[in-house]
Amino acid sequence: MQRRSFLRAAAGAAATAFWADETVEAYQQHVNTNSKPSDLKITDLRMCVLGRAPMTDPILRIDTNQGIYGLGEVRDGASKTYALILKSRLLGQNPCNIDKIFRGIKQFGFHGRQGGGVCGIEMALWDLAGKAYNAPVYQLLGGKFRDSIRCYADTTESHDPEVYGKRLRARRDEGFTWLKMDLGVDLIEDVPGALTMPLGTTLKQRGMVMHPFTGNEITEKGVQLMLEYVLKMREIIGWDIPLAADHFGHIGVNSCIRLGKALEKANLAWLEDMIPWQYPDLLKKVTDAVDIPTITGEDIYLKESFQTLCKDHVVDMIHPDLATAGGILETKKIGDMAQEYGVGMAMHFAGSPVSCFANVHCAAATENVLVLENHSVDVPWWGDLVEGVEKPIINRGFIKVPEKPGLGITLNDAVMKQHLMEPGYFEPTPEWDKERSWDRLWS
């Protein structure tokens, strides 16, 4: 025992001699002494729901036995139940085993908003792992390709091209380097001879009917009116900035082609979701016929469906929503896969700063990302929901990638509580502790 004590003392003396005191002290500053990652265990899943008209943003928090926690977000407009039903499958697990946990719960997600619970949990696990290992999430994904993320902003539309053009021009003046507009056939619905529909119906009534089954078609007059509308806006915003278009309305594939070919004169950055992604042959028909990039993907869950779109060049770009697609790592995998086929990736996002910074880390770590969407530029309190990052969060059209551990943010509890959609702020959820089912997918 005396010999061991002597050797320990000698080793300590050698270390002190080798490293100056200030070096040892500096090293210790970069160690998270509150966490031992190998012994981390999930102890709770709690939630609150923000109201951000017209949507809701369920925010989740995963707690651990060592006091650190992770933040995530269920996709805008989805139910918090999508996450809570998975709580019993998380308790007792090490949150740093992100891929293992994800593979166990991903069967409970689906396309559209139904993947929101799985994705929100996956975000929170990355936040936890980053805090445990004292590293930003992008670093755990392999490092970053960029220090800031280019954004485009949702902009309130107007049927008056002068008004809409000036609103988009204001975005450019604010520093945004990429613009997007809504360009729906509702613009011409009340113009005689511009749109044919089954008599007695309206676009709103047919809004839940998929495009090929509506019987709605645009006429040559309607096509020309929509082209003139966009060209007037181009004159206001300029020709040297990308202008993407979305929300065309539910019209048949041939109408999509007629409209798309006419809009080539406006040199648009992309045509978004002209046909539902579930019909890749019809989407490819549009892509092959029109000399404007096509894009889709905000409702697609997991990589496999994206791979079909990219491998067969059904669209020119993909547009996953991280809060639907499978979370941070799955979205990076989607981007990396798309790059192998020469397909670029934009990122759809509409939510709170929690999900925003999950997107930012993913975008930083994925090479072929073009631009990230944001729907809350005009919400004055949106950036106040979190602390720990530079403000304003979107500065001259870009978001700086945080360098702090995890997602790099903490919640501003006071502001969060001011904007709750329902009572309760991360209250305990013991009623979900014992939710069970037979999860195995093979015999």
pLDDT, averaged per 10 consecutive residues of the chain (443 residues), comes to: 47 45 47 76 98 87 97 94 97 98 96 96 98 98 98 96 98 98 97 96 90 95 98 98 97 97 98 97 98 98 97 98 98 98 98 98 98 95 97 98 98 98 96 89 87
The residue type of 354 is V
Under a CB-based contact definition with an 8 Å cutoff, are residues 353 and 402 in contact? no
Q: How far apart are CA 279 and CA 284, in angstroms?
A: 9
The owner of tokens 């490819």 is 284
For β-strands 398-400 and 394-395, DSSP reports them as antiparallel
Under a CB-based contact definition with an 8 Å cutoff, are residues 426 and 57 in contact? no
The residue type of 272 is E
pLDDT of residue 28: 43
- The DSSP symbol for 294 reads E
User: The whole model's pTM is what?
Assistant: 0.91
CA-angle at 381, arms to 380 and 386, nearest 5°? 140
Q: Name the β-bridge partners of 52.
A: 55
What residues have CB less than 8 Å from 167, skipping those under 6 apart?
A: 155, 156, 158
Q: How far apart are CA 138 and CA 361, in angstroms?
A: 5
Q: Nearest-CA neighbor of 77 among 116, 107, 47, 109?
A: 116
Under a CB-based contact definition with an 8 Å cutoff, are residues 178 and 269 in contact? yes
pLDDT of residue 437: 77
Q: Name the β-bridge partners of 296.
A: 318
Task: Tell the CATH topology of 148-407.
Answer: TIM Barrel (3.20.20)
**Angstrom distances, CA of residue 313 to CA of 139, 175, 276, 299:** 31, 33, 15, 18
- Domain 37-135+425-432 in CATH 3.20.20.70? The answer is no
pLDDT of residue 34: 59
pLDDT of residue 346: 98
pLDDT of residue 4: 46
What residues have CB less than 8 Å from 331, skipping those under 6 apart?
A: 320, 322, 325, 347, 362, 366
pLDDT of residue 194: 98
- Which two three-digit tokens encode residue 40? 């981390």
> In a 10 Å sphere around its CB, with 0-12 CB exposed, 13-18 middle and 19+ buried, how is residue 2 labelled?
exposed
Domain-wise residue ranges, the chain: 37-135+425-432, 148-407
